Amino acid sequence: MAPKIEINNGAEAVWQSRRFCFLGPSIYNLGFTQIHKEASAMSHSYFRGRGRLFVFASALLIMISAAFPVQAQETRAKTPPTVVFMTDFGTVDDSVAICRGAMYSIEPGLRIVDLTHQVTPFSILDGARFLYGATPYYPAGTVFVVVVDPGVGSARKAVVVKSKRGQYFVLPDNGLMTLVQDRDGLEAAREITNPKWMIGSALSSTFHGRDIFSPVGAHLARGEDWTQVGNPLDVSQLVRLDLAASKFDGRGLHGEVIATDGPFGNLVTNISGEDFLKLGYARGQNVPVTLGTNEVNIPFVRTFSDVPLGKPLLYIDSRGHLGLAVNQGSFAATYGIKPPAAIFLARAKQ
């Protein structure tokens, strides 16, 4: 029988009920639609008067509000362990898939996020840049497995590093942590020496991504004690990249083109947007730029479409650094620039 509500001069409400008030803990498994169905099935018991109706409604609301936090906690508890994976392997062969398989064999419920496998081969700086750009968007506890390892099989150490943001990095000790270290700080580091966290007793001298970094990342992500991976290291002794900083002189700002932006051919520089603005330029103004021995006047704008197709522009990129681009074209190809390359920007004329 459908629920029946009778109003008598605003003084009385009658609800027909079969079993609603005896649901007990089972109400925690009911959504609003199911609760409505249960209310619709009421047929025997009557709740009379505003007082009883108010008490009943209040109790029902308390039970519903208590149910949803429990469900949210259960959802969070079921979030799978996460590894963010980056290499310079490319995807033309089976290397990435083998490393993923090594991780899944240790933790089948693992969630693997591919940051990129198109790091410029052997470019530790590119790997460091991508780590620097991506890590702020992942929570504490995330494990980053990074294999950009031109020194594989040499005396370089394999390490696990914990940042002060609570993230873990499994990688070769070759400078990959430089930019993250400067921004986030490092809490601790350990050399990977525990064979129980590796795959096989006969380790390859050329595929530590499979034999060391991937299995260690999976062990960490599944919640094992990271101090068991090996002996502690002094974080101040980790290898760092020797990066030249941009600098001002009386004429303007000297910097370096350090990379190109993916497939688009935009130039990435080591000049922060904040430092560039100190030169005194406003958007819309032309900026004299010297690249190597070539000087070009380039407008400083907000985004690519602010200039005609095929025309160059200066802009502050999404990571807060000065970039050079061609609208729907490649600056690197158009002007024959291959990083690293010197760049100079003159001060704005007063």
Q: Compute CA distances 21 → 16, 36, 66, 341, whole Å.
A: 11, 13, 16, 76
The answer to whether position 285 is within a domain reads yes
- Residue 244 contacts by C-beta under 8 Å, 6 or more apart in sequence? 256, 270
Query: 86 and 232 share a domain?
Result: yes
Domain carrying residue 64 = 15-76
The total domain count for the chain is 3
**What is the chain's alpha carbon radius of gyration, rounded to the nearest angstrom?**
30
CATH number at residue 251: 2.40.30.90
Query: 146 and 264 share a domain?
Result: no
Find the mean pLDDT for residues 311-338: 96
Packed helices 49-77 and 32-40: angle between N→C axes, nearest 10 degrees: 150
CA 301 to chain centre: 28
Query: 262 and 182 share a domain?
Result: no
Query: 271 and 223 share a domain?
Result: no
* Cβ pair 88, 120 in contact under 8 A: yes
Packed helices 95-106 and 214-221: angle between N→C axes, nearest 10 degrees: 40
Query: 26 and 97 share a domain?
Result: no
Choose among 251, 263, 262, 246: nearest CA to 321: 246
Query: 96 and 212 share a domain?
Result: yes
Instruction: Render pLDDT for 3-33 as a digit per residue (tens, 0 to 9).
Output: 444 444 443 333 343 333 334 444 334 444 4
Tokens of 116: 């990129």
The answer to whether position 322 is within a domain reads yes
Find the mean pLDDT for residues 304-322: 96
pLDDT band at 350 (very low <50, low <70, confident <90, very high): confident
**Single residue among 182, 208, 237 that ends a domain in this structure:** 237
* Cβ pair 271, 322 in contact under 8 A: yes
Tokens of 329: 């074209």
Q: How many residues in the chain?
A: 350
Query: 327 and 258 share a domain?
Result: yes
The one-letter amino acid at 309 = L
Instruction: Render pLDDT for 60-92 as a digit per residue (tens, 0 to 9).
Output: 555 555 555 544 444 444 678 999 999 999 999
Instruction: Render pLDDT for 282-307 as a digit per residue (tens, 0 to 9).
Output: 999 999 999 988 899 999 999 999 99
CATH number at residue 157: 3.40.50.10790
* Cβ pair 252, 347 in contact under 8 A: yes
Find the mean pLDDT for residues 141-169: 97
**Single residue among 203, 219, 237 that ends a domain in this structure:** 237
Query: 66 and 202 share a domain?
Result: no
Entry pTM: 0.75
**Single residue among 58, 76, 94 that ends a domain in this structure:** 76
Q: Compute CA distances 243 → 78, 124, 129, 147, whole Å.
A: 42, 12, 12, 21
Number of Cβ within a 10 Å radius of residue 33: 8
